[in-house]
Amino acid sequence: MKDGPGVNKANVGRRTPHGVILKTVATNICGSDQHMVRGRTTAPEGLVLGHEITGEVVDTGPDVEFVRVGDIVSVPFNISCGRCRNCKERRTGVCLNVNPDRPGSAYGYVDMGGWVGGQSEYVMVPYADWNLLRFPDRDQAMEKILDLAMLTDIFPTGYHGCVSAGVTTGSTVYIAGAGPVGLAAATSAFLLGAAVVIVGDLNEQRLAQARSFGCETVNVAQGDPAEQVQQILGRSAPAIGQPLVDSAVDAVGFEARGHGADADTEMPATVLNSLMDLTRAGGAIGIPGLYVTGDPGGVDEAARVGSLSIRLGLGWAKSHSFVTGQCPVMKYNRALMMAILHDRVQIARNVNATAIPLDQAPQGYRDFDQGAARKYVLDPHGMIGKRN
């Protein structure tokens, strides 16, 4: 690996005979990228972004055995070695061998080992036989490429949030955030059999997108979501106390804003505290939303190091379970690929996936930052445009 902005110095010179070069077919703009662009992380200037990568194999290293030139593949955003204890336990989000500083790594992401991102024409993927999910039929893959492009991150991440929250047949579910991850979580909740899926957000355009595929919605700018959730659940809720959901998912993360009169004020613990309030005793909360250990733009000194005023006592009293951290994409991506290929889910439609050329990425970032109800997919070689 060569030196460059954000590359971990201990990784410079690292040999990757197990890697491949991909011609980028699709590389998505993610809300996590947006945090770095806003200056809300310690990411250095010049870091090549892009951890949501779908590509065509154009070259393979001498140690690559099973992946072939011409394969169309999905790249999990987690970089993992397949050899360490955590990888063998399917905890690929905290691989022990790819980031010299700490467990866990990702392409084009701050403090994640310095591997170069995929918002480019070509990208190198290490440990290719292990990391890559090969699509079984090239033509079929290209026909469904916008859906399959969601397998790199947001679809498994949303699904992981729901699985972590115990969503199953008949569940009532509240999802905080109607951005792409929140919409992917809502899609996943239906796929898992939820009876009611409620999505809360401040952005009415994004809430309309959630309603377009059957979600109930709560505009938290109108106040605390509890009363609105109560109206939606009605008699199907628990008999004791206010109606509460079985499961909740935080798809917002550390740049959360308040509710009602505080909707314009950043309050990073708001979502977590409201989910503990809304979730029934014995329920579970999945937290795929990003929380960081370094936030230069944090609202106070505590927030700048990821320390938030969370009502843990409330969660403890209600016996809530919490699952945090990166989604281990490889745990879910093949099964979700099969759901896409066999028309059991329309994830691209639900998140309003929109392909744009690579040179329009800056405008895509600006529009997304302003709340556009879209999931922008960069198309460096025009391979998606030819299909639409």
Give the separation between CA 295 and CA 250, rounded to whole angstroms: 19
Contacts of 382 (CB under 8 A, 6+ apart): 357
Residue 238 has a pLDDT of 56
9-153+328-387 CATH fold: Quinone Oxidoreductase; Chain A, domain 1 (3.90.180)
What pLDDT, on the 0 to 100 scale, is given for residue 6?
80
The span from the CA of 340 to the CA of 358, in Å, is 25
pLDDT of residue 242: 59
**Number of H-type helices and E-type strands within the chain:** 15, 13
| pLDDT for res 155 | 98
- Provide the whole-model pTM: 0.94
The CATH 3.90.180.10 portion of the chain extends over 9-153+328-387
In 3D, which of 211, 207, 168, 216 has the Cα closest to residue 189?
168
DSSP assignment of 363-378, as one string?
HHHHHHHTT-S-EEEE
Residue 13: the pLDDT is 85
At residue 352's C-alpha, the angle toward residues 290 and 252, to 5°, is: 20
Q: Which helix (H) or strand (E) holds 148?
A: helix 145-148
Q: In 3-state terms, what secondary structure has residue 280?
A: strand
Fold category of 154-324 in CATH? Rossmann fold (3.40.50)
Choose among 199, 203, 255: nearest CA to 32: 255
CA–CA separation, 10 vs 13, rounded Å? 8
Closest CA to 149 of 364, 382, 347, 369: 347
Average pLDDT per consecutive 10 residues, the chain (388 residues; last block may be shorter): 81 92 97 88 89 98 98 98 97 96 93 92 98 97 97 98 98 97 98 98 97 98 90 69 84 92 91 95 95 88 91 95 95 98 98 97 95 96 78
For the chain, residues classed under CATH 3.40.50.720 are 154-324
